[in-house]
Structure 1
Amino acid sequence: MPLATTRRAGLVDQVIGQLRDAIGQGDWAVGERIPTEAALAETLGVGRNTVREAVRALAHSGLLEVRQGDGTYVRATSEVSGAIRRLCGSELREVLQVRRSLEVEGARLAATERTEEELARLTELLAERDRAQQEKNHEEFVRTDTEFHTYVVHCGHNGLLSELYRGLSEAISASVAATSHDTLEEKVEIGHGGLLAAIADRDPARAVAEASGFLELLLLREESESPRR
């Protein structure tokens, strides 16, 4: 674990920074329990109270979750992700609603701002996604579908929008996994060729219609299967 002994000034902030970096770099995966306070204190060369304050701060920002009597677990990979996860919770409907807000604007921007190199990469990603769908490879489909949508937003060249979307990456992957079984079994057709074509043609209105269309379909399916009580 790449944690170094800290300097004596601003110990809590230094520990927060090192733990944040370790989480962001994937040293501990989302859902994984981090080392105990005693182990972290020994590794970092600080007191347990310092570690406790740092963990408390990271739990407040949404990166960690302290489970009394069980330990501390990674909840998200960034403060943005943690904030969004607190906002959305685990409700699939809410995740899809947030995705619609971000992806529709991302598609609109991508249609006007994308470069030729980015269009080529989008084409590659969609081919990988469609191949995984044909092969009914669920894990690969979730990965490539998520990567395709993330790259569409990236092509819009809006840094804040991209950061917000990347912060939602765990929830996006989960929503893809939860909604893709019917797609893989060909019970429902959800393709993205139309979205790619609209972006290629630099047609923002069509890109918006394509991006909103499939998400509206997913929302309608989710609402019909899980009606509000």
Structure 2
Amino acid sequence: MKPTVTLATTRTPDGATMTLHEHDGQHFLKVAGLQLMSTTASSSEEQMAELSCATLPPRPRILIGGLGFGFTLKRVLELTGPDAAVHVSELMPEIVAWNREYLAAVNGRLLDDPRVTTLVRDVYDIIGKASGPDRYHAILLDVDNGPDPFVQKGNERLYQGSGLVRIKAALQPGGRVIFWSAHQDKSFVKTLSRTFRNVEAISAKAYPKAKRFTHTLFIADRD
């Protein structure tokens, strides 16, 4: 049996232990011993990218909140042309460094794509400063575990009324925001509907052959 190797360890902003592991060529990220993501389950992240790119104009500006293992970024780059500007916001510099050092063969090299700008900052702050021509045509938020934060309690402000107004203001007219979530949340759909139009919750699989839909993608469009 092949061993599981701990590649790196750090602390989240809330003080929990975050670890990166490798087993038989696959990588896993854990927080406080609980698995947060893995390279074996990326379908819902890829689907999020596909739904966001379905309505893009020429020369789109796209913001991805949460780098993770880079699967959302990879699919966005596959679906956009050379004139796209893709900003990736990642709060933890260790995640960016681990992608380059340990996951280069997976998706880490995508950070060197000329269309990509990596911002080691809280996506909430980046959203708050987007205005005028710097607004985005699509915002993809794979932050924490969704409306019920797991890594950092401060992330919950993205899913509250004032945070949604902030996101709407950062979108170009007709722009789209998509939230990734590990769970269904009917109350969040109602909250979204107070700020956005065409709100929809779509069930998503963790991997293509999964028998169950375990994740949820919340989609909302700006007028």
Give the TM interval when normalised to the shorter protein. under 0.3
Which one has the bigger helix percentage?
Answer: 1
TM-score, length basis structure 2:
0.23
Higher strand share: 2
TM-score, normalised on structure 1?
0.22
